[in-house]
Structure 1
Amino acid sequence: MTPDEFRELGHAAVEWVARYWERLPELPVAGSVRPGDVAAELPGAPPDKGDRLEGIFTDLDDVVVPGTTHWQHPAHFAYFPANTSGPSVLGDLIGAGLGTQGMMWATGPACTEVETVMLDWLADLLGLPERFRGGKGVIQDSASSATFIATLAALHRASGGAWRTDGVRGSFAVYTSSQGHSSIEKAARVAGLGDKAVRSIEVDPSSLAMRPEALRAAIEADRAAGVVPALVVATIGTTSTTAVDPLPAIGAICREFGVWLHVDAAYAGAAAACPEFRWINDGLDLADSYCFDPHKWLLTGFDCDALWVADPADLTRALSVLPEFLRNAASESGTVVDYRDWQVPLGRRFRALKLWFVLRWYGVEGIRAHIRDGVALAQRFAAAVRADDRFEVVAPHPFGLVCFRLRGEDDAANETLLRRINETGRCLLTHTKVRGQYVLRLAVGAPSTRTDHIDATWKLIQETA
C-alpha cells in the first residue's frame, strides 16, 4: 500500500468510524446473532490475490456491525465502561503508524519517555502520594496483568530473593476480600501458588468492604502455621458493587507484618481526578503498588492500565533478564528506564500516545466533567429506583454503578427481568450476586450517555417488571 493509497483508505476509514459513532444511538446495543453466524458470513480461506480492500466498508456494515456488542452505545450499562474517544483513536492510529517496538529506551526513546511523563501526569491528576511520583509508573495491558506483576514482585520480596532463582519453595499466602477480582486468583495460579494460597477475607455486611480484623486473624493464623504472608490485594471499587476497602487499616496491618500491599482501583481510581473523590486515596501512602484502568472511565481506549510501584527496583530485581543481544550503552549507563523489566512480555507498544492525546484534548477540567456527569447520572437512576416501591438499591453507589433488584422477589424473577430487558436491544445490563441474592447492575460511563438515556432505560425497566 503506497502512501497515497493509505491516505485515500485512511480518510475512508475515519469517515466510517465517525459515521458509526453518529448512528450508534439507533443501533441495538447488542447484536442478535447466534454462535457461528459471523463466521458463516466470512470466506473459508483468504483470497489468492489481494482485493485492495474493495468492498471492505460494506462488509464491516453487513458482517461486523450486526455481530458487535456496542460498548460505546449510550445505553450500554453492562459490566464497567470501556471508554474510547476521538483523541484516543487518533493516538492509537499514530502509534500504529509509527510501529515502535518500545521494549527498551534504546529501541524507543520517545516511547519510553512519553510514557514516563504521562504516568507522572496521571499521578498528579489523581493526587497520588509522592511515593508513586517521579518516574515510578508504567502502562500494563490491564489491571489483571498489574495484579500478576505485583504478585511476582511480592513473592520475590517475601522469599528474600529466592523466588527468582529457585521458584516457589515453601508456602506463601495471598489475601483479598471475598469481593476481590477473579484476576487475583488467576495470578496466584500462574505464579505457581495455586488456588489454595488465596485467602478470601470476609467483608462488612453493610459496606461489603474487607474487614481489617478478619485480615489480621488470617495473617496471624498463617504465620503460626509456617505460611509466609506475601501479598494483600485491597480494592477501591470492587467489580460487583464498587465497595471500597479501608486502606488505612489494611495498610497498617501490612506494614506491621511486612506484607506487600497492592491496591486495585481498576474502575473507580479515575474518580480521584475530582477533588471531592480524593478520599479514595486515603491510606495509599501505605501501599507498595497501585493500579487503575484509563481504558474504563478515563476516555482512553483499551488496552491501557496504569501501574505505579513505590520502589521500581522491586519489579526489576524480580523480572529483569538481560541476554547479550539486548545489551546496549544506554541501558548499561544506568540513566534510562527499560520498561521490558517492568512486565512479563519483552515487547511493548507505544500506548502512551493515546493517553497523551486524551489528556491534552480534554485537560483536567474536561476529565473532571466527564467523571462528574457519570456519577450524577448514576445518582439520578438510583433516586428513580428508590422512588418505586417495587425495587430496592442493594449497595452503596458512590461512583457510576447502581446495584438494584425487585424487592422481595426470588432470584428467578430478577433473572427473568434482566433477560427480558436485554432482549429488547434498547439497553444492556449485567448482574452479580450480593449477600447471596441475584441483583442487576447498571454502570454509567459512556461519554455519549445523557439523562434521556437514563430515563428511557428506567422507564423500560418499570414497564418490563
Structure 2
Amino acid sequence: MDENSFREWSRRAADWGVDYRRSLPEKPVRPRMEPGAVFRSIEASPPEQAESMETVFADFEEKILPGMTHWQHPRFFAYFPANSAPVSVVAEYLVSAMAAQCMLWQTSPAATELETRVVDWMRQALGLPEGFSGVIQDSASSATLAAVLTMREKALNWQGNGKGLAGQAAVRVYSSNQVHTSVDRAIWVAGIGEGNLVRIPTAGRWRAMDAEALDAAILADRAAGLLPAGIVACVGGTSTGATDDIAAVAAVAKRHGLYLHVDAAWAGSAMICPEYRHFWAGAESADSIVFNPHKWLGAQFDCSIQFLRDPQSHVRTLAIRPDYLKTHGHDGIVNYSEWSVPLGRRFRALKLWFLLRVHGLEGLRTMIRNHVAWSTGLARRLAAEPDFEIVTEPMLSLFSFRHRTAETDSDTHNLALVNAINDDGRIYLTQTTVDGRVAIRFQAGAFATTEADVDQAFRAITEIARRTDR
C-alpha cells in the first residue's frame, strides 16, 4: 500500500466507523447465525497473489460484519461494557499509526511520562490518597496475576522465582467465591494451585466475605504449617455485583501481614462519583487495586489501571534486566514493563488522556449516574410486575431477575427466556446462577445507552417472557 492508498483507505475506514456507529440502533445486538458460518465463508488456503483493498473491504462487510456482536450497541446489557467512546477511537488511530512499542522509557519517553501523569489523574478522580503509584495493564486479568505473583514472592521471601515452589510450604491465597475467574487463572499460572485458593463464606445483601471466617482460615492454615500469602477482595463482582467489606478485610490483612489486592474492574469506574465511594471504603489500605477504564469510562480496550502502594515489590517480582534493555546515562526513570508480566506494551495512556480532556470528569460522572438511575428504575418496574421477581437488588447499574412461571422447572424456563430475548435481537442479556438457581443479569453501561434504550429493554423482556410462557 503506497502513501496515497494509505491516506484514502484511512479516510474510508474512519468514515465507515462513523456510519457503523450511527447504524447500530437498527442492528440486532447479537448476530443471528449458526456456528461455523463465517469459517466456511473464508477461503481454506491463503492467497498466493495480492488482492485489491476494494475486494478485501467488500469481503469484510459481507462476511465479517454480519458475524459480529455489537459491543458498542446502545442496548448491549450483557456481561459488562467494553466501551469505546468515539474520542478514544480517534486516539487509537494515532496509536496504530505510530505503532510504537512502549516497553521502556527510552523506546518512547512521552508514552511513559504521559502514563505516569494520567494514572495519577485517575488516582485523584477516584479519591485515592497520595502514595499510590500505578501502571496501565492490558486487562484486570494481568493486573491480578501480577498481584498474585507479588504476594507469592513476598510470602516466600523473594525465593519463588529463583528456587521454584518445590519443597516450600504451600502458599495460600484467600477470596470469596464471588471473585472473577481471572483469580483462579492467576493461581494456576503462579503455580500456587487451585487447592490453595481458600474460598471464604459470604453473607449479607452484597455477598461479602465473612471477615471472622477469613481470620479463622488464616490462623488455621498457619497452625497447619501452610503459608498464607494474600487476599483478593472484590468490589462489584461479575455475577451479581458482590462487594466485600474492604475495611474489614484490610484489617485482617494488616493483622496477619498479608498482601491485599482489590478487584474493582467494573465498579471502580463509578468511584469518580463521590456518592458511590462507600462501596470500597477501606480501599486506601490495599496493596493494589485494579479497575478497567475500558469497561465503564469509555476508554477503548485494552486499558486497565493497577494502583500500587509499593511498586518496588512488583518490580522485584517481575523485572528482568538484560543488557539490551538497559537505559544508560539516565537515573530515576520508570520502565513500566518492569511493573507487569508482558515485556511489550502499547501506548495505552493516549486514549485515556484524550477521553478525560474531551469529556471531563463531570461528563463521565453524568453518564454513570444516568446508567445507575435507569437500571434502578428498570428493576423497580420489573418488581412491580406480578410475574417477575428481583433476585439481587441493584449494585450500581447491575441487578438480576427471574420470570415466574407455572412450569415446574424455573431454571429451564429462564434459560429459554434469555435465549429468546437474545434471539429477538432488540437487546442482549446474560444469565448467572444465584444460590443454585438461574437468574438473568441486566446491567446498563454502554456509552451510547439512553433512557429510551432501557425502556425498550423493559418492553422486550416482558413481551418475550409472556410469549415464552404460553
User: Structures share a fold, TM > 0.5?
Assistant: yes
Residues of 2 paired with 1:374 and 1:126: CA distance?
A: 18
Provide the residue aligned with 1:427 in structure 2: 427
* Kept in 1: contact 2:296–2:447 (CA 8 A): no
Residues of 1 paired with 2:206 and 2:298: CA distance?
A: 29
Residues of 2 paired with 1:182 and 1:292: CA distance?
A: 16
Let me know the Cα RMSD of the aligned residues: 1.3
Provide the residue aligned with 1:261 in structure 2: 260
Provide Cα deviations, 1:278-318, integer angstroms capped at 9, x if missing partner: 22331012100001001110101111110011010000111
Provide the residue aligned with 2:70 in structure 1: 70
* Kept in 1: contact 2:118–2:352 (CA 8 A): yes
The farther-off stretch of 365-374 and 200-209 is: 200-209
Residues of 2 paired with 1:363 and 1:402: CA distance?
A: 28
Residues of 1 paired with 2:36 and 2:417: CA distance?
A: 27
Q: Per the alignment, in what secondary structure is the counterpart of residue 106 of structure 2?
A: helix
* Kept in 2: contact 1:251–1:287 (CA 8 A): yes
Provide the residue aligned with 2:103 in structure 1: 103
Provide the residue aligned with 2:84 in structure 1: 84
Provide the residue aligned with 2:440 in structure 1: 440
Question: How far did residue 12 of structure 1 move?
Answer: 0.3
Tell me the number of residue pairs that the alignment of Structure 1 and Structure 2 aligns: 460
Provide Cα deviations, 1:405-432, integer angstroms capped at 9, x if missing partner: 1247721121121111111111110011
* Kept in 2: contact 1:290–1:308 (CA 8 A): yes
Provide the residue aligned with 2:400 in structure 1: 403
Provide Cα deviations, 1:25-47, integer angstroms capped at 9, x if missing partner: 11111111222111222222333
Provide the residue aligned with 1:93 in structure 2: 93
Provide the residue aligned with 1:270 in structure 2: 269
Provide the residue aligned with 2:245 in structure 1: 246
Question: Are 2:128 and 1:131 aligned?
Answer: no
* Kept in 1: contact 2:206–2:241 (CA 8 A): no
Question: How far did residue 49 of structure 1 move?
Answer: 2.7
Q: Which amino acid aligns with 2:64?
A: V
Q: Which amino acid aligns with 1:140?
A: Q
Residues of 1 paired with 2:464 and 2:422: CA distance?
A: 10
Provide the residue aligned with 2:355 in structure 1: 358
Provide the residue aligned with 1:309 in structure 2: 308
Provide Cα deviations, 1:113-160, integer angstroms capped at 9, x if missing partner: 11111100111111112231xxx1101111111110000111111111
Q: Per the alignment, in what secondary structure is the counterpart of residue 394 of structure 1?
A: strand
The farther-off stretch of 229-238 and 397-406 is: 397-406
Question: How far did residue 190 of structure 1 move?
Answer: 0.5
Provide Cα deviations, 1:210-235, integer angstroms capped at 9, x if missing partner: 11111111111111111111110000
Q: Per the alignment, in what secondary structure is the counterpart of residue 219 of structure 1?
A: helix
Question: How far did residue 205 of structure 1 move?
Answer: 4.5
Q: Per the alignment, in what secondary structure is the counterpart of residue 368 of structure 2?
A: helix
Q: Which amino acid aligns with 2:281?
A: D
Provide Cα deviations, 1:242-285, integer angstroms capped at 9, x if missing partner: 12100111000000001100000000000011111122331012
* Kept in 2: contact 1:174–1:232 (CA 8 A): yes
Residues of 2 paired with 1:281 and 1:246: CA distance?
A: 7
Q: Identify unmatched segments of 5+ residues in structure 2.
A: 466-470
* Kept in 2: contact 1:116–1:137 (CA 8 A): yes
Provide the residue aligned with 1:464 in structure 2: 464
Provide the residue aligned with 1:228 in structure 2: 227
Provide the residue aligned with 2:4 in structure 1: 4
Residues of 1 paired with 2:52 and 2:306: CA distance?
A: 41
The farther-off stretch of 44-53 and 26-35 is: 44-53
Question: Are 2:166 and 1:164 aligned?
Answer: no
Provide the residue aligned with 1:31 in structure 2: 31
Provide the residue aligned with 1:175 in structure 2: 174
Question: How far did residue 183 of structure 1 move?
Answer: 0.9
Provide the residue aligned with 1:209 in structure 2: 208
Residues of 2 paired with 1:258 and 1:217: CA distance?
A: 15
The farther-off stretch of 236-245 and 452-461 is: 452-461
Q: Which amino acid aligns with 2:363?
A: G
Provide Cα deviations, 1:70-105, integer angstroms capped at 9, x if missing partner: 111111111111111111111111111111111111
Provide the residue aligned with 1:194 in structure 2: 193
Q: Per the alignment, in what secondary structure is the counterpart of residue 289 of structure 2?
A: strand
TM-score, normalised relative to structure 2: 0.95
1:391 to 375, 388, 396: 388
* Kept in 2: contact 1:131–1:285 (CA 8 A): no
Residue 306 and residue 189 in structure 1: after superposition, are their counterparts in 2 closer, same or farther (change >3 A)? Answer: same
Q: Which amino acid aligns with 2:261?
A: H
Residues of 1 paired with 2:101 and 2:218: CA distance?
A: 42
Question: How far did residue 207 of structure 1 move?
Answer: 2.5
Matches within 5 A, 1:299-338: 299-330=298-329, 333-338=330-335
Question: Are 2:118 and 1:118 aligned?
Answer: yes
Question: How far did residue 209 of structure 1 move?
Answer: 1.4
Which consecutive aligned stretches of 4+ in structure 1 deviate over 6 angstroms post-superposition? none
The farther-off stretch of 156-165 and 20-29 is: 156-165
Q: Per the alignment, in what secondary structure is the counterpart of residue 54 of structure 1?
A: helix
